[in-house]
Amino acid sequence: MRLKHLPSEFQEALPILKKIKAAGFEAYFVGGSVRDALLNRPIHDVDIASSSYPQEIKQIFPRTIDVGIEHGTVLVLDGEREYEVTTFRTEDTYVDYRRPSQVSFVRSLEEDLKRRDFTINALALDEEGNLIDKFAGLADLEQQVLRAVGIASERFNEDALRVMRGFRFQASLGFKLEENTRLAMTSCAPLLEKISVERVFIEFDKLLAGPFWRRALLSLIESGAYHYLPGLKDRGQALEQLLEETKSDTQFKTSEQAWASLILALDLTSARPFLKAWKTSNDFQKKVEDLVSIYRIRQQGPLEKKDCYRFSWDLLELAEQIRQEAGLEVNFDLLEQTYQSLAIHDKQEIVVNGRLLIEEFNIQPGPDLGRMLKELELAIVEDRIPNEKDAIMKFIKELDHE
């Protein structure tokens, strides 16, 4: 098969391929970018595989960076663009079900492609648009099948993260799992416990963000792989509940919204311990926790001004969308009206500060002043007093005499 028109991303990278070939080596576009080009999907990173060894690449190009030279990868700088060029390689036995104990550079494209995870990712494209398909990846693309390269159990035993990658590709592409591949993913799922949580999080996060996340999550549930994910052991029923309680066309707007929906389905009292087990950032934890809090406050009725003041508008909107996707009553207009009617959206907007109160009322800095400022802040938010100096001074004076 030959592509008549190379996508612009490949055309921009053609000089790299041609320069490598002019030096006497083979060079091809490989992996996900080729797959996405064939599916008319957006292309993100253009990866290049070559028969040239890292030191040979460094001799061909004047500007390079050693980003993973021990594994054969050199970053080639071409004007404003960067391209990873990786030497054809084979891999020895894997240690800890993730990393090969040794990488051997080879001159054979087929040897390089056979070590890849799925047939649809084991495709290569030359500079003229000719497709190199050694493992029937094109047929699997046409039939929308996700199939492991070679012996499926070997691929997942080599790198157990491929189990999660399989579910993630299902979420992004909507493909069905080929039977031997599905069985191998199921049998190798316990090995996920040996993979770093951070890497598993990336794949699970992409799964939830995918357009076909429901299909992928169902496959994950059926495989039992969730037992080996942080905080999800024996929680298959709750995961099924996430599917049941969201509309069939639900697409999460952000990662935080997806994880908040997951936590609500799990009915966790606190989101933090669960998210810490996934080794997420403090900022991510805070946003997810806030979404869960907004949702639970909202269950009691419309949000009051003090509720809207606590949270940013984007989180308020995302939480209301979770209700919408669960088929619950929503009122975005009322929510926006309440938020926009706030006299202040941040305590920095209050026309007086602690220093002025100390000077005017001879109040000592400390907990009492802090409580006084908090009461002032809430009084303004609830429209009990206007955000004006005279009204604030009168309010503080009355507080000081209580």
Q: Which residue has the tokens 């429209």?
A: 383
Residue type, 134: K
Predicted TM-score of the model (pTM)? 0.90
Identify the CATH assignment for 347-400 out of 1.10.3470, 4.10.260, 1.10.246, 1.25.40. Answer: 1.10.246
Identify the CATH assignment for 1-143 out of 3.30.460.10, 2.60.120.10, 3.10.129.10, 3.40.50.720. Answer: 3.30.460.10
DSSP conformation class of 195:
S
Torsion-angle region of residue 144: left (phi > 0), alpha (psi -120 to 50) or beta? Answer: left
The pLDDT of residue 368 is: 81
Span 235-280, pLDDT tens digits? 999 999 999 999 999 999 999 999 999 999 999 999 999 999 999 9
Structure tokens at 99: 């990393």
Does the domain spanning 144-229 belong to CATH 1.10.110.30? yes
The pLDDT of residue 396 is: 86
Q: Name the binding residues for ATP.
A: 32, 35, 116, 159, 162, 165, 168
Query: Computed over its alpha carbons, how large is the radius of gyration of the chain?
Result: 28
The pLDDT of residue 104 is: 86
Lowest mean pLDDT among 62-66, 167-171, 310-314, 396-400: 396-400
All structural domains of the chain with their residue ranges: 1-143, 144-229, 233-342, 347-400
Q: Name the binding residues.
A: 32, 35, 45, 47, 116, 159, 162, 165, 168
Better-predicted residue by pLDDT, 17 or 71 = 17
Better-predicted residue by pLDDT, 44 or 294 = 294
Say if residue 401's pLDDT is above 60.
no
The pLDDT of residue 90 is: 85
Strands 73-78 and 64-68: antiparallel
Span 131-172, pLDDT tens digits? 999 999 999 999 999 999 999 999 999 999 999 999 999 999
Q: Chain-centre distance of CA 105, in angstroms?
A: 32
Closest Cα to residue 254, out of 315, 197, 169? 315
Report phi then psi at 364, rounded to 5.
Answer: -80, 140
Instruction: Give the whole-angstrom CA distance, residue 276 versus residue 272.
Output: 6
Identify the CATH assignment for 233-342 out of 1.10.287, 1.20.58, 3.10.310, 3.40.50. Answer: 1.20.58
The pLDDT of residue 100 is: 58
The pLDDT of residue 358 is: 83
Closest Cα to residue 284, out of 364, 202, 343, 358? 202
Span 174-201, pLDDT tens digits? 999 999 999 999 999 999 999 999 999 9
The pLDDT of residue 94 is: 56
pLDDT, mean over the chain? 94
Say if residue 54's pLDDT is above 70.
yes
Rounded to 5 degrees, what angle do the CA atoms 378, 382, 386 make?
90
Report yes or no: 320 and 335 within 8 Å, Cβ to Cβ. yes
The pLDDT of residue 353 is: 86
Better-predicted residue by pLDDT, 291 or 369 = 291
Determine what percent of the chain falls in helix, strand and coil, rounding each to the nearest 5: 55, 10, 30
In percent, the amount of the chain with pLDDT more than 70 equals: 97
Name beta bridge partners: 125: 29, 131
Span 320-349, pLDDT tens digits? 999 999 999 999 999 999 999 999 999 999
Q: Chain-centre distance of CA 172, in angstroms?
A: 12
**What totals of helices (H) and strands (E) does the chain contain, helices first?**
20, 13
- Report DSSP letters for 221-286, one per residue: HHHTGGGGSTT-TT-HHHHHHHHHTS-TT---SSHHHHHHHHHHHHT-S-HHHHHHHTT--HHHHH
Say if residue 73's pLDDT is above 60.
yes
Q: Name the binding residues for Mg(2+).
A: 45, 47
Say if residue 99's pLDDT is above 80.
no
Which helix (H) or strand (E) is 167 found in, with range?
helix 161-173
CA atoms in the 13 A half-sphere facing the CB of 112: 26
The domains spanning 1-143 and 347-400 adopt the same CATH topology: no
Structure confidence at residue 97 as a pLDDT band (50, 70, 90): low
The pLDDT of residue 400 is: 64
